Amino acid sequence: MAGIAAAAAGASKARRCHASNPTKQRKVAVALQARGGDDNTRVCIPLEELRNTDVDKVGGKSASLGEMISQLSDVGVPVPGGFSTTAYAYKEFLDKGGINDFINEKLSDETIYTDVNKLMEVGKAVRDKIMDTPFQPNFEEELKAQWLRVSGGDEKFTFAVRSSATAEDLPDASFAGQQETYLNVMGYEDMKQKVHLVFASLFTDRAISYRHDRGFEHEKVQLCATCQKMVRSETGAAGVMFSLDTESGFDKVVFVTSAYGLGETVVGGTVNPDEWYVFKPTLAEGKNAIIARTMGSKLIKMVYKAGGGSETVDTSSDERGKWSASDQEVTALAEMAVKIEKHYGRPMDIEWARDGDDGKLYIVQARPETVASQKKVGVIEEYKMLEKSSDVIAEGRAVGKRIGSGKVNILTSIDQMAQFSEGEVLVADMTDPDWEPIMKKAGAIITNRGGRTCHAAIIARELGIPAIVGCGDATDKLAKGDEVTVSCAEGDTGFIYKGIMKFERNVQELGELPPVGMKIMMNVGNPETAFTFGQLPNEGIGLARLEFVINNAIGVHPKALLNYDTIDADTKALIDARMAGYGSPKEFYTQKIVEGVATLAASVYPKRIIVRLSDFKSNEYKSLIGGDQYEPDEENPMIGFRGCGRYTDPFFEECFAMELEAIKKVRGEMGMTNVEIMIPFVRTLDMAKDVMEVLEKNGLKRGQDGLKVNMMAELPSNVFLAEEFLEYFDGFSIGSNDLTQLTLGLDRDSGLVAQYFDERNPAVMKGLEILIKAAKSKGKYVGICGQGPSDHPDLAKWLMEQGIDSVSLNPDSVIP
């Protein structure tokens, strides 16, 4: 549909120009009177004439679209035009049809809000009454005139007809999906019918229940119909984006989702979409700002039906294995989201579509985000499992950060609402907003389908109920009456455990860290938790373990990827399943490290983050896919082929080069110069010299573009030759775990000698003192990132007294 945005913008400009023409103004006044009176009695208004202050006239959706058409079309936010019916038209319809008294009588019965069957009966009676009542003649006349204006009389011109409620999309309430949406509406008669259905949808069971629970008086909410030119995304793609992270409330990212076809599959939760995070600060600098991506299954797409309406069809295997939007499109969408957020002055929930005909991107809706942005600032709520279990029945995408438990009740239809009891775990193929009256009774929600931005996820967040969506097979793996624990507190992946397990909930006031004589940094290795932990008071990340990213996001031995063409078929099949969407095995490995490091760096930007390059032991590398073909059997891997010794060995040279390529991209192309690197297990001065040459050979020269290279001081040789090692590095990050075990000559993994492991042993503390003094004497950085300061506050105090620059703690120790 070429020229959608141009038509809307042109109409907006024409309106602004005509305002100063007295002849035109007189004609407009006459036209208004012909339609039944002044501006407040118009029954239809073109979208381009509306502003955000017109919510009381045309509802939140129409007012917001008009605002964007008139205010943002000139700065690169294209919005399709159209028109809106008005609240006046709706009130007039209810009054003249005698419907008001009928509705008020039916909804005054308080028992319908606790009796699901009664609610369904009353809702149907009200909707039938509305549909049986014809529109008033002046409304029909203007509805047809607006249809002719926009469509040019073309019976095949397509519209999207959506609800727009006068109490809708307020900053503290989401009416997402509470009323109906109709797509691919063709011809005037079809449009008139769909507007009628939209009016009736103010009284769906879910909408009645939602307004009652949120304290909105039914008679004070009017419904308008937004009639908007349809974007031909059935042959393109569409999705939802938020101008913050919906799970943590982290506001420096735009969260973008996308799937093929019409966007209702993403909004309604019937598809697991592709997802991206775009970092706002580097986006503003023109850098490559996509810091993370996750490929969704995209099993279906919604397309036009011949003759009007829409239907879902299966996607092809080729579509499922590709990204539904390009990096350039995701970046352009994020730029639009930032502009919309800036204009409205608050985080926004935005729907977008890519037209399959002209290939252009359009914004089709924007409303205030109502959950993450409303969380109390300076307070953190934390749920934590108190028991460990390997008995995971199913997993999917976590919605929220909470934990719930109870007995499973599997529902296959909304008609089974009455069979659901308070506190049960709702399990369904998917839930749409029709299910809201029972969702609020659930102890947790589990679905086979859906993504983290669907209506069900939005409502679950607002209700504060843990939900896991997109499990794929939860209805097969769970049975009615099963006792389960639903955990959304362990990152982006939600886990459904067998049985009722113990967990705890803690609420803490964050406040400000009191001034102390050293910087408090954090140990964070999991990108999935970074946005939450990044909001704790901190001075950056003192230890980001790269092996966490490699193990969880990649899971394949780097040698197996480099030798992809010659590996066995079974291993190749496992790799193929993991690297869908990436051009080559090498790109997959490098890009996943890029995304992990960039996400961690973004969480504390512009504060420093010290990334420890990979420090897997041979037995840990062996556990990766393909690893058993490349790794030796070592008697004691803890002091074997690891760390710096690998980096400078010809066997690992090409593997290490991929890590360095990723770091170089994060710092250069992505502009995250807050990233520093740390080299672990540097046994000798020759190793230090050699690794610096390897770094420089791969484009990471110490000091160039502000790059700092630190050494993990964790060996007795590092203590004895502290000043000499500092000739090669910008500072020390003390690894107290290995330093303790190697100083005391014990295996920290052995329970037989565990009682002797103590970082406060005088020998260990002597080593710590030497390292701190050496760094101070040379004016270089020294921090500690081992477990010791997190476990022993007295050790942290002693380190501060010795003059250490920073202590890096586990996040749960930052706020005790």
Q: Where in the sequence numbering do the catalytic residues fall?
A: 455, 785
Give the count of alpha carbons within 13 A of 454, CB side only: 30
**Nearest in space to 396 (alpha carbons), one of 490, 314, 480, 318:** 490
Distances (CA, A) of 778 to 22, 85, 723, 730: 79, 74, 8, 10
User: Residue with structure tokens 């942005």?
Assistant: 373
User: Residue with structure tokens 């002849």?
Assistant: 23
Is the separation of the CB atoms in 96 and 228 below 8 Å? Answer: no
Largest CA distance in the chain: 96
C-alpha–C-alpha distance, residues 607 and 378, integer Å: 19
Q: What is the three-class DSSP state of 293?
A: strand
Q: What is the three-class DSSP state of 164?
A: strand
C-alpha–C-alpha distance, residues 463 and 721, integer Å: 59
Distances (CA, A) of 673 to 542, 597, 602, 704, 773: 15, 12, 11, 11, 28
Is the separation of the CB atoms in 550 and 616 below 8 Å? Answer: yes
End-to-end CA distance of the chain: 57
CA torsion through residues 576, 582, 588, 592, sign: negative
Three-state secondary structure along 655-715? Answer: HHHHHHHHHHHHHCCCCCCCEEEEECCCCCHHHHHHHHHHHHHCCCCCCHHHCCEEEEECC
DSSP H or E run through 619: helix 618-622
User: Residue with structure tokens 């990436």?
Assistant: 582
> At what angle are helices 99-107 and 87-96 packed, to 10 degrees?
90
Q: DSSP class of residue 105?
A: H
C-alpha–C-alpha distance, residues 457 and 494, integer Å: 13
Task: Mark residue 634 as left, alpha or beta (left: phi above 0; alpha: psi -120 to 50; beta: remaining).
Answer: beta
DSSP state string for 460-502: HHHHT--EEE--SSHHHH--TT-EEEEE--SSSEEEEEES---
**Nearest in space to 556 (alpha carbons), one of 603, 590, 509, 522:** 590
Distances (CA, A) of 512 to 102, 379, 516: 56, 11, 12
Structure tokens at 347: 């985080």
CA torsion through residues 463, 197, 99, 418, sign: negative
Number of helices (H) and strands (E) in the chain: give both, helices first.
32, 30
C-alpha–C-alpha distance, residues 439 and 454, integer Å: 14
Q: What is the three-class DSSP state of 125?
A: helix
Distances (CA, A) of 12 to 15, 73, 82, 491: 5, 9, 11, 45
